[in-house]
Chain A
Amino acid sequence: RKEVEQDPGPFNVPEGATVAFNCTYSNSASQSFFWYRQDCRKEPKLLMSVYSSGNEDGRFTAQLNRASQYISLLIRDSKLSDSATYLCVGPSGGSYIPTFGRGTSLIVHP
């Protein structure tokens, strides 16, 4: 079983919509998670960290649910420029090196 699993989508939403993605993880001891964003044919870029207390940055909110072992990313008031693949990143078991989820594709249309 992969350490970190995501629904690949795509999620097709209209501008202005609120959309949420989840990412499940298998290692219950994992403490730190991150969301990265990757635009088409570009490199991944760090979007935000995920804390159990929640982390909000403008229209983006990330949360960690330890009981159910998933992290979430909520995007409010979607913009066309939010169209990208969102990669969930968590620690791999027994290693300090992070493992990437397969990514969730978001398409925001007019």
Chain B
Amino acid sequence: DTEVTQTPKHLVMGMTNKKSLKCEQHMGHRAMYWYKQKAKKPPELMFVYSYEKLSINESVPSRFSPECPNSSLLNLHLHALQPEDSALYLCASSLAGEENIQYFGAGTRLSVL
């Protein structure tokens, strides 16, 4: 069982909708990540938060907006997405300084119609 919890597990949204993905961990990890994964591809890093501050944005379009309200929570706000944004969105966390050892949530499978 994963110690990183993501909700919802599945999400279907239209291109004009606004939705949010949520991620929670209680392992005391101070680094949290959002990844996007398409079928048969590796996870593609989107954002990194370190000590609740955005430290890396991998040139992600502004229709994806991350937020880290506290050290346990990470959100990804979605607005005006495109069908090509349909993918599995994975959240992960790690100890700061041990970024290679990441714990992943089960992901949110997103379909944009």
Contacts and interface: CB of A to CB of B under 8 A. Distances in A.
A32 B105 CA distance: 23
Size class of the contact patch on chain A: 20 to 34
A89 B100 CA distance: 7
Main secondary structure of the interface of A (DSSP, over half): strand
Nearest to A46: B101
Interface string A27-62: 000001110000000111110010000000000000
A32 B43 contact: no
Most chain B CB inside 10 Å of its own CB: which residue of A44, A89, A91: A44
Nearest to A88: B42
Nearest to A102: B42
A96 B101 CA distance: 12
A43 B90 contact: yes
A64 interface: no
A44 B44 CA distance: 12
B99 A98 contact: yes
B48 interface: yes
Most chain B CB inside 10 Å of its own CB: which residue of A87, A91, A95, A97: A97
Nearest to B39: A41
Interface of A: 8, 32-34, 42-46, 49, 87, 89-91, 95-103
Interface of B: 2, 40-43, 45, 48, 56, 90, 99-107
15 contacts: A33-B100, A34-B100, A43-B90, A43-B104, A43-B107, A44-B43, A45-B104, A46-B101, A46-B103, A87-B42, A91-B100, A95-B56, A97-B99, A98-B99, A98-B102
